Amino acid sequence: MRSDYQTWADSLFVPINPEGWRFIPLFVLAAIALFWIWAPLGWLGAAAAVWCVFFFRDPERVVPTRAGLVVSPADGVVQSVVEAPPPAELAMGDAPVWRISVFMNVFNVHVNRVPVAGRIVDQAYTPGQFFNASLDKASVFNERMSIRLALADGREMAVVQIAGLVARRIRCDLVNDQIVATGERFGLIRFGSRVDVYLPAGIAPLVMAGQTMIAGETVLAEIPVETAAAPDQ
């Protein structure tokens, strides 16, 4: 049985995503330099360094085990739930499906997770603008990485990482034909951004705008069990 101390320690000492170690030393060195110049600036630099560590935290998540559950790919708040065609660059047709948009602010965990088990069919990077990711037009005009995911029954869905007003770097670690598991880490966006999920045709969302999401844990939708078998290896 875990002690109260262990639970407290786990909540305080959260693992850091490897991407963070490219930036944390720079923030720390900048803070030291600012202390040397003028102490009040140094404290501002120290606060920025603490925020950088906080931004790149990568906590473990408890992924639901029931087959067919589609989980949130990102921490944050559901910005909108609307019907829209999948991204044109994925060539999935123009018939509208349900799109769930999860907005991440600069204080959310930014590690993205696979919403449901399947196979990566295609990916498409699209350069674009950097409008506020909370705006609906960000889905069309912003820089993004679009991912086409095939389920075991042949149906498909899309996941789109979208850069925002502050975000300038989308990282996606997936490769085509890769078999992925529900809740598996697949990328990260710096610094503040949005992830859209386009559900398979005929699947309705179980969330609404304003709800708080936990990546890898919060259920967005459910696919009937008979269509949710594990993908072929």
Mean pLDDT by 10 residues, the chain (233 residues): 44 67 82 85 85 79 92 95 95 96 88 96 87 70 92 93 76 95 91 88 96 96 69 50
Asked if 60 contacts 38 with a C-beta cutoff of 8 angstroms, the reply is no
3-state secondary structure 123-185: EEEECCECCCCCCCCHHHHECEEEEEEECCCCCEEEEEEEECCCCCEEEECCCCCCEECCCCE
Residue 99 pLDDT? 97
- Name the pairing type of β-strands 144-150 and 169-172: unpaired
Report which DSSP code applies to 5: H
- Active-site residue among 134, 139, 146, 193? 193
Residue 5 pLDDT? 42
Residue range 18-47, pLDDT digits in tens: 776 787 788 888 888 888 888 888 889 888
CATH code of the region 69-227: 2.70.70
Integer Cα distance of 180 and 163 in angstroms = 23
User: In the structure encoding, which two tokens stand for residue 2, read together?
Assistant: 């875990």
Q: Active site includes 193? A: yes
**What is this structure's pTM?**
0.82
Residue 166 pLDDT? 63
